[in-house]
Structure 1
Amino acid sequence: MSRLFDRLRDGAAADWQAYVGHPFVDGLARGTLPEAAFRHYLVQDYLFLIHFARAYALAVVKADDLAGMRSAAATLDALINHEMGLHVEFCKAWGISAEEMEQAPEAPECMAYTRYVLDRGLAGDVLDLKVALSPCVIGYRDIAVAITERPDFRGEDNRYLPWIEMYAGKDYGAVADEAIAELDRLAAVRATEARMPSLIRTFAESCRLEAAFWEMGWRAGKPAAPGFWSRLFGR
């Protein structure tokens, strides 16, 4: 079987492209994304990471063997005790405190995405769960690397460059490569040709939910539409 991630991405090409080519990504590349959009995204991404950690806790339960349990447990530990701390430090530079993020209401787009991933893991097996997670884990690396290769990429004086460099860097690249390898290891045991349409549907839905997550942030950067009474009375 060819590399599973390639088959998933090719099978859900339109949804993948809508995710990686969203205007939010264009704004990151060009440095034109409104700050309000990025700030809203950062807060919701923190809440997303909490449920992301729960997904890896579920991966411990769903793992096929002790090696799989150790791998999922190590990722869970890294998320809770390292990555979330880095996210908090990153957000401080944007004037966003951990308390502010923890008290923020969870956006419907965040809720829909994270609960979908957990549902796939609960209803299916560890491969279903890892496929549902893969657009995020692998996609962020692919998006960031693609940004640095764009002719319209603005590296100088781009307030979003630290985010881009983080996900395009070697450390996160190793995380994405390991996620690809893990998909192949699981596929060797659990994937069949008959199962591919279901796995592609899961991958496509996660891509759509990722695009919706970008859209959530993108909308937050736009002026609020006037309410009914403002439109009626011009106020």
Structure 2
Amino acid sequence: MEFSEYLFKEAKPIWDEYLNHPFIKELGEGTLPKEKFKSYLIQDYLYLKEYSKVFCIGVVKATTMDEMKFFYNSIKGAMEDETESHIMYLKGFGVNLSKAEFMEKELVTLNYTNYMQAVGLKGDLIETAIATLPCTWSYSYVGKYVAEKYKDKLEDNFYKGWVDTYNSEGYDKFTEEWIDYTNKICKDISEEKKKKLLDIFLKCSIYEKQFWDMAYKEVK
């Protein structure tokens, strides 16, 4: 069994909660209140800014040029490619992007990004990589699910652009590259290391669930 398969098997009960979350259900149906989506986008924009810094830590801790390039390309993926749909929606909502990146982070956003950055700063390169993986991989998992489950409701759906981002060929490629890289660097790890990495992966998966909870809360 590849290490990624082991991680997925252990995290799947948590990830399946994402699929049944009211935020995802209403987004797929096109009934999600736009104010909730707007608040979510702002927090996710703030999240991606801090998330990108974890990849920056990876660049510093990398020992080969190939690893440096891999983490460097991931910075671009998070800061440019993934934020593209966020920027489109936020501009549509009339949000000033230069002000948005300095808005207040919700507690979940703060705790999650602080945890990943702490793992990166205190741990090794493998731990840094594992801390970033649940976000990338689970969004692909959710994007594919929504695209299939609600395929008959997406044509005129306000949230189609978001779904298309996480169900795109480019995002699939980015995700697969990370899964392959994870399998490569975790090929010969010890049982003790395996358990430590699983703990990081599950903690970040739980933070993802809390992020969806936060996104759906009543907007004041």
**Same fold by TM-score greater than 0.5:** yes
Q: Please say if 1:111 is aligned against 2:110.
A: yes
Q: Which runs of 5+ in 2 are unaligned?
A: none
How many residue pairs are counted as aligned between the two chains?
A: 220
Gaps of 5+ in 1: 225-235
Q: What secondary structure is seen at the aligned counterpart in 2 of 1:19?
A: helix
Correspondence 1:90-109 to 2 at 5 A = 90-109=89-108
Give runs of aligned pairs for residues 82-97 of structure 1, distance below 5 A. 83-84=82-83, 87-97=86-96
Letter in 2 for 1:52: Y
Looking at structure 1, the residues matched to 122 and 14 of structure 2 have their Cα atoms a distance apart, in angstroms, of 23
Structure with bigger gyration radius: 1
Structure 2 partner of 1:154? 153
Structure 2 partner of 1:202: 200
1:87 Cα offset (Å): 3.2
| 1:122-141 alignment runs, 5 A limit | 122-141=121-140
Give the TM-score, by structure 1 length. 0.85
Contact 1:60–1:72 (8 Å) recurs in 2? yes
- Does the alignment pair 1:26 with 2:25? yes
Alignment check: 8 A CA contact 1:141 1:168 kept: yes
C-alpha displacement at 1:80, in angstroms?
A: 3.9
1:178-217 aligned at under 5 Å gives the runs: 178-188=177-187, 191-217=189-215
Find the counterpart in structure 2 of residue 233 from structure 1: none
Bigger Cα displacement from structure 2, 146-155 vs 114-123: 146-155
Note closer, same or farther for the CA distance 1:153–1:123 as it changes in structure 2 (3 Å cut): farther
Identity %: 26
Tell me how far apart the structure 1 counterparts of residues 13 and 80 of structure 2 sit (CA, whole Å): 36
Asked if structure 2 preserves the Cα contact closer than 8 Å seen for 1:52 and 1:114, the reply is yes
1:7-28 deviation digits (Å, cap 9, x = unpaired)? 1121233322223432211121
Q: Comparing 42-51 with 122-131, which one deviates more in the overlay?
A: 122-131
Match of 2:39 in 1: 40
Q: Is the 8 A contact 1:27 1:33 kept in 2?
A: yes
Secondary structure of the residue aligned to 1:199 is helix
Q: Distance in 1 between matches of 2:192 and 2:35?
A: 45
Q: CA deviation at 1:100?
A: 3.6
Query: Which of 207-216 and 60-69 deviates more?
Result: 60-69
Corresponding letter in the other structure for 1:202? I
Q: CA deviation at 1:156?
A: 3.0
Is 1:56 equivalent to 2:55 in the alignment? yes
Conserved? CA contact 1:20–1:139, under 8 Å: no
AA aligned opposite 1:216 = M
> Within 2, Cα distance between the matches of 1:180 and 1:5?
6
Q: Structure 1 215/130 Cα, relative in aligned 2: closer, same or farther at 3 Å?
A: same
Aligned AA (1:123) = K
Counterpart CA distance in 2 for 1:198 and 1:120 is: 11
- Asked if the contact 2:85–2:161 (Cα under 8 Å) also holds between the matched residues in 1, the reply is no
Which 4+ stretches in 1 moved above 3 angstroms?
Answer: 77-87
Q: For residue 218 of structure 1, what is the aligned residue in structure 2?
A: 216
Spell out, residue by residue over 1:52-94, the C-alpha distance to the aligned partner (whole angstroms, 9 max, x if none).
Answer: 1111110012223221012112222444455545532342123
Task: Report the CA distance between 1:218 and its aligned residue.
Answer: 0.1
SS of residue matched to 1:12? helix
